[in-house]
Amino acid sequence: MAQDDDSIPHPNPASIPPMQFYGPTDAFGFGQLGEIWRTRELLYSFFLRDLLIRYRQVVVGLLWVFLQPLMGMLIFMGLFFVLGTKAGNSTVAYPPIILTGMLCWQLVASSFRDATASLVNYRHVVTKIYFPRMLLPLASLTCAVFDFVVGSLLLFPVCAITETSIVWSTAWLALPIALWLILFCAGCIAWLSALNAHYRDVGYALPFALQLGMFVSPVVYDVERLRTILTDPWIWLYEANPIATCIGLLRWSLLGTQPPSALGMAVAAIITLSVCFSGLAWFQHADQQLADRI
């Protein structure tokens, strides 16, 4: 071994970083959370990048954040008007019902879609530089959350026009409910993005799954309307879908509709937690071979 004995000391001996060993620190992938926290500035940079790219070279710019849920709302309102079907069965006017559904669904759909493709789209970065890979799908999620939060402002004019009153006493609960939905999305995209990096089939199957998901969640109709068709055990099964539960809860907290059943909520909560924990562990496992396989 050739070694210079008079090697120059580290430029700043006071701040000698500790020796860091690579590899998982725990089997459940909790170590990733600390790493994400330490690199949150990079998450912000990725978020900013996605946001800037999205609204570059478009004429109406950020207006799209409002246009997307508004168009969705108008399309289905028109559709049900032409068909003469009633999609809502509550005392609340239909437009705010469908708008809350649309906002939630666009959070789910756009975060799933963008996050699933994120690792593969940034393959050239992932295979050349290290950073916590979870940041890429999370950046897609933060973008979707941004759209969700800004788009929510539409509720005020829509409620005003339809003369619907927001239930202020429970409205603050909308925040934890939205966080629940975001948490569920985070768990799912941890699964989807890493799966797609290994098996591209996931990306091809996703659009169909999302189409199906939109109709098995109360996006364009409300649960009261569904209760006129489905009986009890089926309703519980339906509410076990965390997306359905969250939309139902959100409408309850803001508009005062019927809340989902306690049993459905409990199952949905268990599903959410298991998706999150398993997603974390799976992502860490998949990450080990990501650069070789992607």
Partner 1 sequence: MSLESIQLDKVSKRFRLGASHEYGRLTEAIVSGVKNLVRKAPNPRPKLSLDSFANRMEDDWFWALRDIQLSIQSGDIVGIVGRNGAGKSTLLKILARIVTPTLGRVGVRGRVGSLLEVGTGFHPELTGRENVFLNGAILGMPRSEIRKRFDEIVAFAEIESFLETPVKRYSSGMAVRLAFAVAAHLEPDVLIIDEVLSVGDQAFQRKCLGKASQLGAQGRTVLVVSHNLAAVANLCHRAVLLQDGRLIADDVPERIIDQYLSEMRSGDGQRSWDDDASAPSSREIRLRSISVRGNGIDSPASEVDIDQEIFVVVDYRVLIAGTPVSVQIQVRDETGAFVFWSANAPSMNLEPDPWFGKQYPVGMYRSECGMPANFLNDTRYFVSVLIGPEVGVVALRQDSALSFVVHDTGAMRQEYTGSWLGPVVRPRLNWRTSKL
274 binds partner 1 (CB under 8 A): no
With 0-12 / 13-18 / 19 or more C-beta atoms within 10 angstroms meaning exposed / middle / buried, residue 82 is exposed
Angstrom CA distances, 220 to 30, 79, 162, stand at 37, 10, 17
Q: Output DSSP code: residue 90.
A: S
Q: Report d(CA 246, CA 173) in Å as an integer.
A: 11
The 3-state DSSP class for residue 223 equals helix
Within 13 Å, how many C-alpha atoms sit on residue 50's CB side?
A: 26
Query: Minimal distance in Å, beta carbon 207 to partner 1?
Result: 16
Q: Report d(CA 272, CA 242) in Å as an integer.
A: 7
Q: Find the part of the chain contacting partner 1 (CB under 8 A) among 9-17, 223-231, 242-250, 267-275.
A: 9-17
59 binds partner 1 (CB under 8 A): no
Which 198-257 residues touch partner 1, going by CB under 8 A?
Answer: 198-202
Site string for partner 1, 106-145 (x = CB under 8 A): ----------------x-xxxxxxxx--------------
16 binds partner 1 (CB under 8 A): yes
Q: Report d(CA 6, CA 69) in Å as an integer.
A: 67
Residue count at the site for partner 1 (CB under 8 A)? Answer: 50
Query: Minimal distance in Å, beta carbon 200 to partner 1?
Result: 7
Options 14, 57, 168, 233; binder of partner 1; rule CB under 8 A: 57
Query: Minimal distance in Å, beta carbon 119 to partner 1?
Result: 13
Query: Minimal distance in Å, beta carbon 199 to partner 1?
Result: 4
Task: Give Rg (Cα) of the chain.
Answer: 22
293 binds partner 1 (CB under 8 A): yes
Count other C-beta atoms under 10 Å from residue 103's C-beta.
Answer: 25
Query: Minimal distance in Å, beta carbon 195 to partner 1?
Result: 7
Q: Find the part of the chain contacting partner 1 (CB under 8 A) among 1-9, 165-173, 264-272, 275-283.
A: 1-9
Whichever of 16 and 179 has its CB closer to partner 1, that residue is 16
Options 27, 35, 45, 274; binder of partner 1; rule CB under 8 A: 45
CB 174 within 8 A of CB 250: yes
Angstrom CA distances, 278 to 219, 248, 281, stand at 27, 25, 5
Q: Which residues bind partner 1 (CB under 8 A)?
A: 1-5, 7-11, 16-23, 41-42, 44-46, 48-49, 52-53, 56-57, 122, 124-131, 195, 198-202, 287-289, 291-293
